[in-house]
A = this chain, B = another copy of it.
Amino acid sequence: MSGDPASAAARPIAILGGTGPAGTGLALRWARAGEAIIIGSRDAQRARDVAARIRGRVGFEAIVSGMENSAACAAADILMLTVPFETQAAVLKQLKPAMTEGSILIDATVPLAAGIGGRASRTLGVWQGSAAQQAAELVPKGVSVVAAFHNVSAELLNGDAPLDCDVIVCSDDPDAAQLTRELAAKIPGVRAIDGGKLENARTVEQITALLIGLNIRHKGHAGIRITGLPPQAYR
């Protein structure tokens, strides 16, 4: 994939809020796939520690560094946001000045009711319709928002086995969506599916709450596969 717009040398991926389980899992899988990763965190030292841990797991070829969130944001134009819903808006407002035009923000935020003391199997209503649509309101002009990676088990991402799930990618920017699908497909076992417009993130976000409910009830690490589509729908 060298020369490809998603290739490591050309475009590092900043994982903002990257020290949580979803962020470290994505960092691990993408670093293994040869992507350059910048872990972002409020605490730069914590980001560096997590980056070192990931380098330790991936091996000498890993390109993983750690920075404070704003610095990570300024150093990359592929931004992966993995923060709890209750901090999403504040983080985006803080990072807005550091985002450069032409950047892509991949949002995996799920508005779980757990964020305000409710159940993780329930969601909150978001005025814009979804956390991803809220993100789209908060980024500067010229930054494209893509919703993806909501339904991937963070625990399984942090493991070594291939995953058994699909990533539904929603965006109003087809190029940004395609790049995100290419990144998703770099995770072993993941198939990426074009889920259409960003507004469809409403349902994709809700699915996570359903999966959390299934995990609690059945003690598993649930994911989803979409069946019944022609082969070219998966990539």
A200 interface hit (Cβ, 8 Å): yes
- Chain B positions within 8 Å of A153 at CB level: 228
Instruction: Assess A227 versus B164: contact at CB under 8 Å? Given A210-B200, A233-B218.
Output: yes
Considering only residues 186-220 of chain A, those with a C-beta below 8 Å from chain B are 193-196, 199-200, 202-204, 206-207, 209-211, 213-215, 217-220
Q: Are B213 and A196 in contact (CB under 8 A)?
A: yes
User: Min CB distance, A234 to chain B, in Å?
Assistant: 9
Q: Are A195 and B214 in contact (CB under 8 A)?
A: yes
Q: Are B210 and A195 in contact (CB under 8 A)?
A: yes
Interface string of A167-178 (1 = CB under 8 A from B): 010000000000
Q: Are B222 and A121 in contact (CB under 8 A)?
A: no
For A, the interface residue count at a CB cutoff of 8 angstroms equals: 40
Q: Are B210 and A164 in contact (CB under 8 A)?
A: no
Q: Are A222 and B226 in contact (CB under 8 A)?
A: yes
A165 interface hit (Cβ, 8 Å): yes
- Chain B positions within 8 Å of A164 at CB level: 227-228
One of B203, B222, B225 near A209 (C-beta < 8 A): B203
Q: Are B233 and A227 in contact (CB under 8 A)?
A: no
Q: Are A227 and B165 in contact (CB under 8 A)?
A: yes
- Chain B positions within 8 Å of A204 at CB level: 210
Q: Are A195 and B213 in contact (CB under 8 A)?
A: yes
User: Min CB distance, A98 to chain B, in Å?
Assistant: 33
One of B165, B202, B233 near A220 (C-beta < 8 A): B233
Q: Are A202 and B196 in contact (CB under 8 A)?
A: no
User: Min CB distance, A215 to chain B, in Å?
Assistant: 8
Query: Nearest 5 A-B pairs (CB), nearest first?
Result: A218-B233, A220-B229, A164-B227, A203-B210, A225-B225
Q: Known pairs A203-B207, A214-B233. 7 more at Cβ < 8 A?
A: A193-B218, A196-B213, A196-B217, A218-B230, A220-B228, A222-B227, A225-B225
Chain A residues engaging chain B, CB cutoff 8 angstroms: 121-122, 153, 156, 164-165, 168, 193-196, 199-200, 202-204, 206-207, 209-211, 213-215, 217-230, 232-233
Q: What would be 10 A-B contacts, judged by CB atoms less than 8 Å apart?
A: A122-B199, A195-B210, A196-B214, A202-B206, A203-B207, A214-B226, A214-B229, A218-B230, A224-B226, A225-B225
